[in-house]
Structure formats: C-alpha cells, structure tokens
Amino acid sequence: MDFKTAVRTCLFRKYSDFKGRASRSEFWWFVLFGAIVNSFLGIFSNASPQTGMLASGIVTLMLLLPHLAVTARRLHDANLSGWVQAAPLGLAALGGLALHLDFGTSAYMCIMLAGLSGLGLLVLYARRGTVGPNRFGPDPLEDGAAASTPAAAPADRPASAGGDGAGTTDNGWARLASKPDDTRAQGRDASGVKPGQRAVPDKRD
C-alpha cells in the first residue's frame, strides 16, 4: 500500500473503523501523514499563534479518531486487542496521579513502565503481523496480493467443440480427407469407380 492509498483508507474508508486488520504500510504511511500535518501546523502557529493554536486543535481532533482506529487495526494484525494501545497512557496517568499524591517511588515506577510499554508498542507496530487469518480477520497482505493479481484469461475453446465457422470448416475438411481411405478400404477409389472399371462407361461395360 502506498502513501496516497493509506491516507485515503484511514481518512475516508475506515475513519472510525476499529474492526479488521491493518498492514504495516497502512499504519506507518498514516503516521507519516500526521507528522507532516503537525509540522505544517507548527510553522503556521509560529507565524500566527492564536489562529495556529485553534487550527492545531481542530486538526488534532479530526486526526485523533482515525489514528486510534488504525492503531487498533495494527494491533489486531498482531492478534492483540486494540485496547493495548491505552497501556502507556494509562500508566503515565497513574504515575502522574501518584506523583501528585506524593507517592514518589511508585510514581516514577509507573512513568518508567509507561515509557517501556511505549517502546514495546513501537516494536509491535514495526513487526510483521500474524501470517494468515486470525481472530480479527484475514491477512491484509494476502488480500492486497489477491486484489492486485489480474484474473486469468479464459482458455480457448477446442476446435471440435467450437461453434464458429473456422472450427466447422476444419471438421468438414477432416471428414473429406478421411473419405478416400474409407472408400478404398471398401474396394473403391476417391472417384467412386471400382478397380478395373472405366471412368466413362461404354457399351462393353
């Protein structure tokens, strides 16, 4: 899947589709698209802070749902639940709460686990998914290969079974070519004259 197809799939065809599976190319092309959009929004925010922040908020909200959806489908490709993507955020939130409540060691432990789980998810996103179908659906790579393979051309009909003029003519010539042999086998030549008989009969015959 190329960049254009991945963006069109995530933004239009599967904007809020959390079912099925997504290939690595679909996921990473859309991540690249989000990074490009955020870069342009950052430049625009520096030029016009108020308008830029408003535009950034709107675009971020628009891209949040398809990003969560394609991430869930990417985890499905590894035969994992889409809720796994919430692990880093959950641990980070728990660490922030523990830090606010002055649970120093526990807070830092949760924050460290959040970072490690985030790295683990990046490894999962980069790895090849389950080969063949799994509990979330068919393999997206196999579906793409089947869609890109052209249909096989129908085999030509044999001449003996065809109804066209060429086949009929060939069969007719074949029958005519076989008649002299059959006729000679019965004691006649191709002209229908018995052996020893004149081609033009006269009174002596």
User: Mean pLDDT over residues 47-69, rounded?
Assistant: 89
Higher pLDDT, 175 or 133: 133
Tens-digit pLDDT profile for residues 35-52: 999 898 888 888 888 888
Q: How confident is the model at residue 105 (pLDDT cuts 50, 70, 90)?
A: confident
Report yes or no on whether pTM surpasses 0.75: no
The answer to whether residues 130 and 78 touch, using CB atoms and an 8 Å cutoff, is yes
Task: Specify the pLDDT at position 183.
Answer: 47
Task: Specify the pLDDT at position 197.
Answer: 56
The answer to whether residues 16 and 73 touch, using CB atoms and an 8 Å cutoff, is no
User: Mean pLDDT over residues 149-159, rounded?
Assistant: 49
d(CA 24, CA 27): 5
Task: Specify the pLDDT at position 10.
Answer: 93
Which pair of tokens denotes residue 21? 């599976």
User: Mean pLDDT over residues 79-105, rounded?
Assistant: 86
Q: How confident is the model at residue 22 (pLDDT cuts 50, 70, 90)?
A: very high
Task: Specify the pLDDT at position 51.
Answer: 84
The answer to whether residues 79 and 133 touch, using CB atoms and an 8 Å cutoff, is no
d(CA 49, CA 38): 14
Higher pLDDT, 191 or 89: 89
